[in-house]
Structure 1
Amino acid sequence: MSQAEALAVRNPSPLWALGLFRSELTTMLRRWRTVALLGVLAVVPVVIGIAVKIETSDGGTVGAGGPEGGGGPAFLAQITNNGLFLVFAALAATLPVFLPMAIGVVAGDAVAGEAGAGTLRYLLVAPAGRTRLLCAKYLSVLAFCLVATLVVTATALAVGALLFPVGEVTTISGTRISFGEGLVRAALVALVVAVSLTGVAALGLFVSTLTSSGIAAMAATVGLLITVQILDAIPQLHAIHPYLFPHYWLSFADLLRDPVVWDEMIKNVGIQGLYAAVFGSAAWARFTSRDITA
């Protein structure tokens, strides 16, 4: 148990929950696994940027890539004209696989990892309480969603500005906006992407309460993620697609329209909230009734 957690156990002050959350987040971010995941996420925009730079160095063009797909990640063709589009291309490339898998690994290990290491019961010493501990862990996973998204965004922005020109942004609608407004929209895109991962976070936390093996929880979460994505890609199952958490992930592209179209983004937020509520409640029900022996 860390010093902050020990102090929190002895002193149930109003700031206890904040201290526990801070301790959970700090511990999570210091793990080598978390650092490695963030490192992999940071490499993706670098690889995309260098690949586009090499392909266009002789005056060639990149395969057409738009928000509707085709020829690679969305926005790929626009990177050579404006490095800011590397942010959107990198997020479009990492959101289907890399980002949710990273979240699944962290969320799956949240409770199961503590149980496997034999430290979970020490965290539950009164007045900690299971509900508060579970909330602190979920909030730390949500914070990681934001951190992971910002790592991709910041790296892509730096690489894009280094390798390509930056300036006014041409929206999907064909209008032009200032670079400053483009940065604001990039920040909003990053926020929408982070929110899109909250459903995966809740699912992973629930799976983590079902086992004492961190590896098993991580593998199960990633397996469920892959299964749901496969289901979302089968046209014959179109009736259930709107209820699958990845279905509206790429709706952030609508932030680059003029005016912005909010319909699918609102649906995305709604479905993520539904998954967070359902699997968060299931995680709470399981964790508060679980026999903790380790």
Structure 2
Amino acid sequence: MSAKPIRINSLRAFFAAARFRTLAAAAVPVAAGCALAAADGLFAWPQAVLCMAFALLMQVDANLINDLYDFLKGSDDGERLGPPRACAMGWVTTGAMRRAIAVTTVAASLVGCGLLRYGGWELLLLGALCVVFAFLYTAGPFPLAYHGWGDLLVLLFFGLVPVGGTYYVMAHGLTRWILPVAGACGLVVDTLLLVNNYRDRAEDARSGKRTLVVRLGAAAGSRLYLWAGIGACLLCLALALRGAWFAALLPTAYLAAHVTTWRRMVRIGSGRALNGILAATSRNMLLFGVLLALGLLL
């Protein structure tokens, strides 16, 4: 039996555009920041809830923005290999998507304002940067994702910013241990972007989207995917220097799943079958996040 058609601008259409399956990418670094604060005896529930809500709303906001502007730039068409996009499929009109983006941006900003009581202007600046770069990723005259900057932005906004920001609003200060935790989270989340770009490399090249995989080639792209996961585990080993042996060693259990997924990705090579690798990568990322957070708490 065929799936029920999605009505234009329906709630189901907006749910599809929000891509809730990607929310683990936002949750993992916030959870790691919370675990690091808890390990230092500084965890606080109000800040944790606000940080998680802000991160999840910003992830949805970024997904909606990408859906709209990839469609407007012609990157998403009927030949798309990845999961269908709402605007490209005609499920959501561009006007309705702009309104949804405005509502989500305002909602995220209001949640972010709740964090201002735990810091000063620096939190306002950090929140503003999150909103601005959510748009600059695919919108504007120089969309950063189209010029090979996507991976760096992932390292910053799914690594340093959420881990450091979450820790800061609880501790009212920073620690050097944020760097290996943030770097590890950023690299693991980047595996999601890398497998997406590996799958879409031919389509991206046709539409002028010069991702790292397009610039360096498929073989280099697959190696980047492999080493991003390995690099995350290597960064965790630095936590042994603070005596956090569980946090240093538990995440290495992720490597077996990561390497297995990488081998499948290389074997498949191209086509829609790589969507299965995307799903496996998301599960691997979540596994890594759980192991790292558990290790920090232990």
- TM-score normalised by the chain length of structure 2: 0.30
Choose 1 or 2 for highest CA Rg: 1
